A and B are shown apart, each in its own frame.
Chain A
Amino acid sequence: MGVLEKLRLTGKVAIMTGAGRGLGRAMALALADAGAEVVAAARTQAQIEETATLVRARGRRCLAIATDVTDSAAVNMMVQATIAEFGRIDILVNNAGGATSGWNKPLEAITDEQWRVGIDVNLTGAFYCCRAVLPHMLRQGGGKIINITSGLGVRAMRHNYMYTTAKAGLINFTRALALNYAEKNVQANLILPGIFPHDDPALLQFWQGGKFIPVGRPGKDEELGPLCVFLASDLSSYINGAVISLEGGGLAGGQVPTGFAPVVPLTEGEE
C-alpha cells in the first residue's frame, strides 16, 4: 500500500471538541475528507449542527452532541453516545478552549472565577475527554489523541497568565499520556497552531495582517487539516509526545521586529 493510501481514515471514528467553528470545524472536515466518521462536540448546538451538515455532505456520518467539556458527566455521556452510535473511537482531538477568561489583565486583577473557568476549559476538559475515551482505545488495541496547544504553551506574553499556564499544562499532560500508553499503541501528540484569524477582519487587523510572522501571512484554517489527518493516520505510528507547530516560523526566532540581521562581514585581523 502506498504512502498516500495509508493516510486514509476509512472506518475510523473521530471525536472533535470545539467542532462548531474555526480550527475545530476545519479539522473535522479534513478528517471526514480523509474518510473518518465524526462526532462534533461543542457547547452550541446550532454551530455543531452546521459542522455536521458539512461532514454529511462529504458522505460521512456525523453525530452532533452539545457538550460542555468542563462537565465530566456531560463528557462521559458524549463518549457513551459515540460508542452507542459507532461502536468505537479511534481519534480524539481536544480542540475546545479559549483565551478570553482573564485575558490582558495584570495578575492582581484576575478573579478566582476567571482563572478557574479558563483552566477548566483549556486543561481539565482535555483530561475529562481523555479519561473517558482511553478505555475504549485500549480495548480496541490503540488510538490517536491530538491536543491543540498554542504558542502561549511554550512562550509567555504580556498580561497573560491563565491561557499560557493551561496550554503549557496541556503539553506536559500530553507527554505523560504518550509515555504511559505508548506500549498500548496509543499515540498522543500536540498541534501548536500559530495565528489563524479565521477570515475575521478585526482579528486580521489586530495581528496587522501577519506582517510579524516570518512567512508574512497568518494561517488559513484549512491548512491545519492535513497535519491533523497525518497525526490521526497510521503514518504517525512512531510520533508520540511531540509538539508540532504550524505557525509560519514565528517560534524559530521569536517575533522580533528586526527581520533580517544587517550584514556583518568577518573583519578579524583588519584595522
Chain B
Amino acid sequence: MELEAFSLREKVALVVGVANPVGRATALALAEAGAQVAVATTLPTQREQAAAHACAQDIRALQRQGFAHTLDTTSAEAVEALIQRTVTTLGPLEILVNAQDLPFAKPLSDTSPAEWKRVLEVHLTGVYLTCRAASTPMLTRGKGRIINVVSLLGERGMAHGSAYCAAQAGVLNLTRALALEWARAGITVNAIGAGWTEGMGFLENDSLRQQLVRYLPSKRLAQPREIGDLVVYLAADASAFLTGQVLWVDGGVLSRL
C-alpha cells in the first residue's frame, strides 16, 4: 500500500455544516488531501455566511477549487440546486459530508412541537435530502462516499437531550440502511461519532466543560481536526470495503461504564 491510497486528488467533495468547527476542519482536511471542496452552511445568518466564505477562502489558499453556499437543508429544491452547482462548478460529486449541527437541549415537557420538528428537520431530514440529491451523480458514476458526522448522543442518552438524541440516532440507522441499499452501486455510507469536541455548542459552560474533561478517559476534548482526518480515510479509495459503520472518535469515553 502506498499513502497514495488516501489521496483525494481530482475528487469533488461537498461539506454541509462548515460554520461549526468539525465541519470546517473536515473541509480543510479534504482539501489538504487533494479534493476540490464545496462548503455550505445551513443558517442564513451573517455569522454563518462569513464562516462559510472564510472556509472557502482557506480551501483556495491550499490551491484547490471551492465555493461557499448558504443552504436551506429542509428544502428539497434548495438541496438539489446545491448539488447541481457543485457538479457544474467543480465536477462529478464523489464525497458528501453531513456535519450540520443545531445544538438544542430542553426538558421534553418544555420542548414545543415546533422545536422538535426543527431539530429533526435539520439533523435528520437534512441528511435524507442531501443523500438523496447527491446519490444522483454518485449512482451515475458508480462511485460515491457519504460520511455523516453525528455526536455521542446518537448512541447514549442525555437528560434534556431528547430531541437531539433522537435525531442523531436516526442518522445512524439511516446510514446503515443506505449503506445496504447502495452497497452494490459503489457508494459507501458511514458515520463518524464525534466525542466531546472543542467548540461544541454544549460546552460553552465552563464548569460543565471541566467536569466533563475529568470524566473523559483521554482527559481532554477532541480537536475538530481529529474528526476531519478520519473523514479523509472514509472518503478515499482505500476504504471501499468499509460501509454501514459508525466509527467513534471519542477518546475512549464509550468504553467506560
A residues with a Cβ closer than 8 A to B are 2-4, 6-8, 29-30, 33-34, 175-176, 178-180, 182-183, 194, 214-216, 219-220, 222-223, 225-227, 229-230, 235-242, 244-249, 251-253, 260
* B240 contacts chain A at the CB level, 8 A cutoff: yes
Q: Are B247 and A244 in contact (CB under 8 A)?
A: yes
Residue in A2, A220, A241, A260 whose Cβ sees the most chain B Cβ within 10 Å: A241
Find the A residue at minimum CB distance from B242. A246
Question: Which of B223-244 touch A at CB < 8 Å?
Answer: 223, 226-227, 229-230, 232-233, 236, 238-244
A237 to B1, CA, bound (A): 22
Once the chains bind, are B242 and A237 in contact (CB under 8 Å)?
no
User: Using Cβ atoms and an 8 Å threshold, which residues of chain B touch A179?
Assistant: 217, 252, 255-256
Stretch at the interface among B37-45, B67-75, B106-114, B175-183: B175-183
Residue with the greatest number of chain B CB neighbours at <10 A, chosen from A216, A229, A230: A230
Given A3-B33, A227-B233, A239-B230, also A219-B218 (CB < 8 A): no
Q: Which residues of A contact B180 (CB under 8 A)?
A: 214, 249, 252-253
Could you list 29 examples of A-B contacts with CB < 8 Å? A3-B232, A4-B3, A4-B7, A4-B33, A7-B3, A8-B3, A33-B2, A180-B217, A182-B216, A182-B251, A183-B217, A214-B183, A215-B183, A227-B233, A227-B238, A230-B233, A235-B230, A235-B233, A236-B229, A236-B230, A238-B250, A239-B226, A239-B230, A239-B250, A242-B248, A248-B241, A249-B244, A253-B180, A260-B181
A222 vs B3: C-alpha distance in the bound complex, in angstroms? 13
**Complex-state Cα separation, A178 to B247, whole angstroms:** 15
> Are A2 and B251 in contact, with the CB atoms below 8 A?
no
Residues B241 and A240 in contact, CB atoms below 8 Å apart:
no
Among all A-B residue pairs, the 4 with the closest Cβ atoms: A252-B244, A241-B255, A226-B238, A214-B183
Complex Cα spacing A135 to B78, Å? 56
From the candidates B175, B183, B248, name the one contacting A239 in the complex (CB within 8 A).
B248
Within 8 Å by CB of B247, from A220, A235, A239, A247, lies A239
* Residues on the A chain within 8 Å of B248, using CB: 239, 241-242
Report the minimum CB–CB distance from B24 to chain A (whole Å). Answer: 14
Do A239 and B249 touch (CB < 8 A)?
Answer: yes
Contacts of B54 in A (CB 8 A): none
Q: Contact mask B82-110 → A, CB, 8 Å, 1/0?
A: 00000000000000000000000000000
Known: A178-B217, A227-B238. 19 other contacts (CB 8 A): A3-B33, A4-B6, A7-B6, A175-B252, A179-B217, A182-B251, A214-B180, A216-B184, A223-B238, A223-B241, A225-B5, A227-B239, A227-B242, A229-B3, A240-B252, A242-B249, A242-B250, A252-B180, A252-B245
A3–B64 Cα distance when bound, in Å, is: 15
Q: Which residues of B contact A246 (CB under 8 A)?
A: 239, 241-242
A214–B227 CA distance with the chains assembled, in angstroms:
26
List, in ascending order, chain B residues with CB within 8 A of A6's CB: 229
Q: Enumerate chain A residues within 8 angstroms of B5, measured Cβ to Cβ.
A: 225-226
Complex Cα–Cα for A16 and B195 (A): 29
**Inter-chain residue pair count (beta carbon < 8 A):** 155
Set of chain B residues within 8 Å of A215, measured between Cβ atoms: 183-184, 240-241, 243
B222, CB-defined interface residue at 8 Å: yes
CB distance from B2 to the nearest CB of A (A): 6
Q: Contact at B255–A178, with CB atoms within 8 Å?
A: yes
Residue pair A248, B243 in contact (C-beta under 8 Å): yes
Q: For the complex, what is the distance from the CA of A7 to the CA of B238, rounded to whole Å?
A: 13
Separation of A132 and B3 alpha carbons in the complex (Å)? 30
Q: Report A-chain residues with C-beta under 8 Å of the C-beta of B249.
A: 238-239, 242
B244 and A253 within 8 A (CB): yes
Q: Mark B1-22, 1 if CB is under 8 A from A, else 0.
A: 1110111000000000000000
Known: A227-B233, A249-B183. A2 touches B32 (CB 8 A): yes
Whether B1 contacts A178 by the Cβ 8 Å rule is no
- How far, in Å, is B194 (CB) from chain A's closest CB? 9
Does A214 contact B32, Cβ atoms closer than 8 Å? no
Contacts of A238 in B (CB 8 A): 195, 218, 222-223, 226-227, 249-251
Q: B254 at interface (Cβ–Cβ under 8 A)?
A: yes
A-chain residues with CB within 8 Å of residue B243 when the two chains form the complex: 214-215, 248-249, 252
Give bound CA distance, A215 to B185, whole Å: 8
Question: In the complex, which residues of chain A have a beta carbon less than 8 angstroms from the beta carbon of B255?
Answer: 175-176, 178-179, 240-241
Set of chain A residues within 8 Å of B175, measured between Cβ atoms: 252
Question: B252 is contacted by which of A182, A220, A223, A245 (Cβ under 8 Å)?
Answer: A182
Residues of B within 8 A of A8 (CB): 3
Residues of B within 8 A of A227 (CB): 233, 238-239, 242
B193, closest chain A residue (CB): A242
Cβ–Cβ < 8 Å partners of A182 in chain B? 216-219, 251-252
Q: Does B29 contact A (CB under 8 A)?
A: yes
**Do A249 and B179 touch (CB < 8 A)?**
yes
Residue of B nearest to A216 (CB): B184
